[in-house]
Structure 1
Amino acid sequence: MKNITHSLIHRGLARVLPGMPASIPEGADRVQAPSPVLVSGQPATPVVLASPHSGRFYPEAFVLASRQSLAILRSGEDSYVEELATDAHTLGPMLVHATFPRVFCDVNRAAWDLDPRMFNTPIPAFVRATHRGLAGLGSVPRIVADNRQIYRTRMPFMEAALRIRDYWMPYHAALATALRQTHAQHGTALLLDLHSMPDAPEAGNPDFVLGDVHGASCASALADKAEEILQDMGFKTSRNTPYAGGYITQHYGRPREGLHALQIEMRRSLYMDEKTREKNRDFSILKHAISQLTEGMITTLRTLDSP
């Protein structure tokens, strides 16, 4: 999907990494780690489930290079979200999830959205920092948890380029393939992009925040139905406040082409202790709720265009 975008990223990598392939040979130039992205299932339904921020493999060299403790580095992690999706996955949707953490490489940002202040080597002209990147929250973040600096020293730009090549690109290649296969099979596809969040008092502490980029990434009937299902189960919801959807939702959501993307943020205290990161006794309740939501969205998609 959007092959031109990925083509431009490949060209940028070729310029930064001369003589090195932009595609990744299995096991080449990668920290010994799990596969950066895991994909389960076949496109048996028009829904695709994804968890881009629940990865829990923190490379040792990265942790040692950080001025923050592992506990602080994990503060932005969407812990266990891929596990919350397992019952929903058994209903037939494909499941895509990253095994690396967002503090190491954030796939919910554009590839070259990077803060130039992070680097001690020249910055290529194709780097385009948004306000998020300039704030230190780009595809390779500079800060974590209350504006805390991650790194002891600035890094070579090559380090960021390698992370884009070895982590960002495999994730998006897998997600784009899953959505393309699903759309080809069913004529439509809905990405449920699953995240977790701290309490959001500015929005009245909702249990779920549904982000559809203010109606741009998902048909309103689908977003309305998702909100209805959650509210009927007794959950408090908010729409687009404080999270309207990041790069993934904006990039893959094209309702006019039958490609819908809905970002779903779940309040972490519903299913875990945020200090100890231990699952609480209501974990299974939220797991069931995600399954019910997914089942309802599958049914809605199958009937949306029916006469």
Structure 2
Amino acid sequence: MHPVEIKRGNGPIILGMPHTGTFVPDDVKDKLNPRGQKLTDTDWHIDKLYNGLIDDVTIVRATFSRYVIDANRDPKGVSLYPGQNTTTLCPTTDFEGEPIYFAGEEPTDGEVKERRLHFHAPYHQAITDEIARLKQSHSNVVLYDCHSIRSELPFLFEGTLPDLNIGTNDGATCAPEIQHDAYQICARSGFSTVLNGRFKGGWTTRHYAHPAKGVHAFQMETAQSAYLTKEQAPWTYDETKANKLRPVLKELLTMMTDFCAANARNEGK
């Protein structure tokens, strides 16, 4: 299986989906314990949640599981949240802090390097290429990183996570107008919302963002309780819940599209 699926559009928005994949190579699957083989920490149905919200959008989706390698982690292994519990480039524990490998079967440095070359690198090369492609026709583009997570995970955060968690690395990854308008859209939607709370944006948003050069990055971490029937297997997509959430996400993406178009017109004056 190819590590990346790409759907090309000509609009200024790229949807990054690093954690929806469930492919695990046999040599890795054999080393995962029964807990790991459940792939519990997948961003379940995020591709379906965002499907068709806006026209002419580009989508870059990793097909491999984050348990193989996490496409939203620094390839050098540097922690996104120093001093806080998190998972690593090639996770050995899940979001509850429990081992996902049989004892002694955790990936070696050589295996981490191989996975980085075969999975992590192609995904990020695709994002790099799509940003460069769209920048040829748009002065501003937005890389919108799509994520979801269970709403209660004491190993990672206290209490219950809000429905919508906006991450811009404290405003560094996008234009102030994008952050402001995104927060306003979410805050008035009826869904609980936080800006740069526990999730400030992962490696993807921090690495690619260069607002001064017209490359804006934005992470949305959605609580799975907002669109799944239950936050447990079989991870059923709840159409009723999702149909309340999807208009909010559509408004966000439309706002970002309009921002890019307005700034293009201003620059042309």
Q: TM-score range by the shorter chain?
A: 0.7 to 0.9
Structure 1 residue 284, shift from structure 2 partner: 3.1
Quick check: 1:279 aligned with 2:237? Answer: yes
SS in structure 2 at match of 1:50: strand
State the alpha-carbon separation in 2 of the partners of residues 275 and 197 from structure 1: 11
8 Å contact kept, 1:136–1:143: no
Counterpart of 1:92, as a letter, is: D
Structure 1 residue 305, shift from structure 2 partner: 5.7
| Gapped regions of structure 2 (runs ≥ 5) | none
SS in structure 2 at match of 1:49: strand
Per the normalisation by structure 2, the TM-score is 0.86
Distance change (3 Å), C-alpha of 1:137 and 1:202: closer
Instruction: Give 1:142's match in structure 2, choosing from 62, 68, 92.
Output: 92
8 Å contact kept, 1:91–1:295: no
Which is helix-richer, 1 or 2? 1
Residue in 2 that maps onto 1:169 = 121
SS in structure 2 at match of 1:187: coil
Distance change (3 Å), C-alpha of 1:132 and 1:243: closer
Counterpart of 1:58, as a letter, is: V
Structure 1 residue 131, shift from structure 2 partner: 7.3
Q: Which sits farther off after the overlay, 76-85 or 291-300?
A: 291-300
8 Å contact kept, 2:86–2:95: no
Counterpart of 2:50, as a letter, is: A
Per the normalisation by structure 1, the TM-score is 0.76
Distance change (3 Å), C-alpha of 1:87 and 1:53: same
Quick check: 1:101 aligned with 2:53? Answer: no
Distance change (3 Å), C-alpha of 1:35 and 1:287: farther
* Max Rg structure: 1
Residue in 2 that maps onto 1:160 = 112
Structure 1 residue 99, shift from structure 2 partner: 0.8
Instruction: Give 2:163's match in structure 1, choosing from 177, 202, 207.
Output: 207
Distance change (3 Å), C-alpha of 1:170 and 1:131: closer
Instruction: Give 2:195's match in structure 1, choosing from 219, 229, 239.
Output: 239
Counterpart of 1:275, as a letter, is: Q
Root mean square deviation, CA, Å: 2.3
Quick check: 1:41 aligned with 2:41? Answer: no
8 Å contact kept, 1:226–1:293: yes
SS in structure 1 at match of 2:199: coil
Quick check: 1:289 aligned with 2:248? Answer: yes
Structure 1 residue 202, shift from structure 2 partner: 4.3
Instruction: Give 1:91's match in structure 2, choosing from 55, 71, 77.
Output: 55
State the alpha-carbon separation in 1 of the partners of residues 247 and 24 from structure 2: 29
Structure 1 residue 211, shift from structure 2 partner: 0.5
Distance change (3 Å), C-alpha of 1:41 and 1:131: closer
Structure 1 residue 204, shift from structure 2 partner: 6.2
What pairs up with 1:112-151 in 2 under 5 angstroms?
112-113=76-77, 129-130=78-79, 137-151=87-101
SS in structure 2 at match of 1:192: strand
Structure 1 residue 86, shift from structure 2 partner: 1.1
Structure 1 residue 210, shift from structure 2 partner: 0.6
Structure 1 residue 203, shift from structure 2 partner: 7.3
Structure 1 residue 179, shift from structure 2 partner: 1.1
State the alpha-carbon separation in 1 of the partners of residues 161 and 99 from structure 2: 27
State the alpha-carbon separation in 1 of the partners of residues 256 and 62 from structure 2: 23
8 Å contact kept, 1:202–1:242: no
